[in-house]
With several copies, the nearest count.
Chain A
Amino acid sequence: IEQMQVRDSLRMYNSLVERCFRDCVSEFRSKDLNAGEEKCVQSCATKFMKHSARVGIRFGELSSEAESQMQAMMQQQQAGK
């Protein structure tokens, strides 16, 4: 399970890099990032992490809501027996 978490965070890191590269870098006249690209990558990465964190909170809420609904339903079924 721990290995899965490492694998998943590496996967997320890879997808973050891919996305911010795609959105921020589009000029290939030199082999080094220019100042604008570098700043864009930093903003993109920060934004992506804040976004992920917020979705994570919502995801947790929605999951536990669903779980309590499930339990309420199962109790009703028990009572109806």
Chain B
Amino acid sequence: MAQAGQPDPAAAIEMAKQEMDYRVNLFNAMVSSCYEKCIDKRYKDGELSVGENSCIDRCSSKYWQVTGIVGQMLGAQGGMQ
């Protein structure tokens, strides 16, 4: 008896799973992209420098903005085939 606005539980769980899957992938991609851009690979010690820390903050913000731009473009043309 699913009605508009009241989806059945199985579909809701499936959607929640996909939402979470998407978010995990986005986070992982952000981690590895910003690692490439910001981290000094000489590994003298295990500390993040001041410069690396501020790079990480800005990189996360810019990465997020890129997902927004691309999301809008795909939304505008009705999803990606």
A touching B, CB within 8 angstroms: yes
Which DSSP category, helix, strand, loop or mixed, fits chain A's interface? helix
Interface residues on B, range: 35 or more
A64 at interface by CB-CB < 8 Å: no
Contacts of B38 in A (CB 8 A): 28, 51
A9-B79, A14-B26, A32-B61 known; A3 and B14 CB under 8 Å?
Answer: yes
How far, in angstroms, from A18 to B48 measured CA to CA in the complex?
20
Contacts of A55 in B (CB 8 A): 27, 30-31, 34, 56, 60
A3-B18, A4-B17, A18-B33 known; A51 and B48 CB under 8 Å?
Answer: yes
> From B22, which residue of chain A is reached at the shortest CB distance?
A10
A:1-40 near B, CB below 8 Å: 1, 3-4, 6-26, 28-33, 37-38, 40
- Check A13–B31 contact: CB distance below 8 A: no
How far, in angstroms, from A6 to B55 measured CA to CA in the complex?
29
A14-B26, A62-B64 known; A47 and B48 CB under 8 Å?
Answer: yes
- Check A13–B48 contact: CB distance below 8 A: no
Contacts of B37 in A (CB 8 A): 25-26, 28
> From B68, which residue of chain A is reached at the shortest CB distance?
A66
Which of B17, B18, B20, B66 is A21 in contact with, Cβ under 8 Å? B66
- Check A47–B27 contact: CB distance below 8 A: no
What are 10 pairs between A and B in contact, CB < 8 Å? A10-B22, A14-B29, A17-B63, A20-B66, A25-B63, A28-B62, A32-B61, A47-B39, A51-B52, A54-B48
